[in-house]
Amino acid sequence: MKKIVILHSDISPNASEDELDCLKQADTIAQAVRQLGYEPFLVPFCLDLGQTIKTLHSLSPEVVFNIVESLAAKGSLIHFAPAFLDYLQIPYTGARTEAIFLTSCKPLAKKMLHAACIPTPAWITEDGISTGSAHADKYIIKSSWEHASIGLDDDSIISTTDKKALLKEMNSGKKKLGGSCYAEAYIDGREFNVALIAGKSGVRILPLAEIIFVGYTPEKPKIVNYKAKWISNSFEYNSTISKFDFHENDDNLISVLSEIALHCWNLFSLRGYARVDLRVDNNGNPWVLEINANPCLSLDAGFAAAFEKASIKYHEAIELIINDALN
């Protein structure tokens, strides 16, 4: 039986909900891999690279399914995993090292989007450099590297036109955001996720999902914050739902968003699977927020829901991802 290593983040005993989800993904993928006739092995990716080399050499896997999201609990080291696998010359799923680095450093990804004329909200880095043509009076402060909405809450929305005040807020928010951060112009409007997967005849765009904010008051920011993703007993978690069915009036918008997502896939040379998050403002203009080259594959996550909507069984999707890595 051929072996597959599922390489995941090394999770500490006191890990947070978003970190624990990586283990949940690993178990789910392992079940799918067994259905495909492979023998799965779960291997944590830790700072002891020598031990990981020994483990991988002893297992001699056909391919590594890479779902590493951090190293030493730092998202800024996410690209170490594919770089390590490149060094060992072991085939692996998902995006290459360069794409993981470029998309995970969100200000850098936005710079590339801006240069490629793909609309992305204006932003200000922590050293005070402003990029983008539109000046906003409301910003959202985000982590530059950490994903899973780490540190994102209602207080992350700052209403100001004073750059000095904004930089002060960014500096004070570094701790909860896990380090480096930036301020992005807040786009009031609709939010969409576009999931993409590599198929036999090229990349396939899966059914688009819109995030619906149910029962949010006008004062409450409509953002997918940390609670909305991970705290199951919170208002946010239970009041943000994904919608896959659209009125025919949205047909043109869905087409435009799909084209933008495909442009992002090509710009960053993505592989395997990816997700593009966008907002559409109240004038109907689309804006790319982030590109996730290593999105969550848990059964209760949006990507798995897109598989189901596309009539792709979970293990079939995993097979597509694996085959893309081996081709």
> What is the helix (H) or strand (E) element at residue 235, kind and residue range?
helix 235-239
Structure tokens at 264: 């992002």
Rounded to the nearest 10°, the torsion over CA 205, 256, 109, 208 is -40
| Residue ranges of domains in the chain | 3-92, 120-185, 188-208+244-326
Q: How confident is the model at residue 192 (pLDDT cuts 50, 70, 90)?
A: very high
CA atoms within 13 A on the CB side of 196: 29
Structure tokens at 152: 């994102």
Provide the CATH topology of domain 3-92: Rossmann fold (3.40.50)
Q: Kindly tell me the sign of the dihedral angle through the C-alpha atoms of 95, 76, 297, 20.
A: positive
| CATH assignment of 188-208+244-326, among 3.30.830.10, 3.40.190.10, 3.30.470.20, 3.30.70.260 | 3.30.470.20
d(CA 28, CA 206) in angstroms, rounded, equals 20
Least confident of 39-53, 110-124, 166-180, 284-298: 166-180
Are 229 and 148 in contact by the 8 Å Cβ rule? The answer is yes
pLDDT digits (tens, 9 = 90+) for 116-143: 999 999 999 999 888 886 568 899 999 9
pLDDT digits (tens, 9 = 90+) for 193-234: 999 999 988 999 999 999 999 999 999 999 999 999 999 999
Q: What pLDDT does 135 receive?
A: 66
Structure tokens at 316: 């079939």
d(CA 198, CA 325) in angstroms, rounded, equals 10
Q: How confident is the model at residue 147 (pLDDT cuts 50, 70, 90)?
A: confident
Average pLDDT of the chain?
A: 95
* Beta carbons within 8 Å of 233's beta carbon, 6+ residues apart: none
Q: Model-level pTM?
A: 0.95
Reply yes or no on whether the pLDDT at 146 is more than 80.
Answer: yes
Q: What pLDDT does 294 receive?
A: 94
Do 3-92 and 188-208+244-326 show the same overall fold?
no
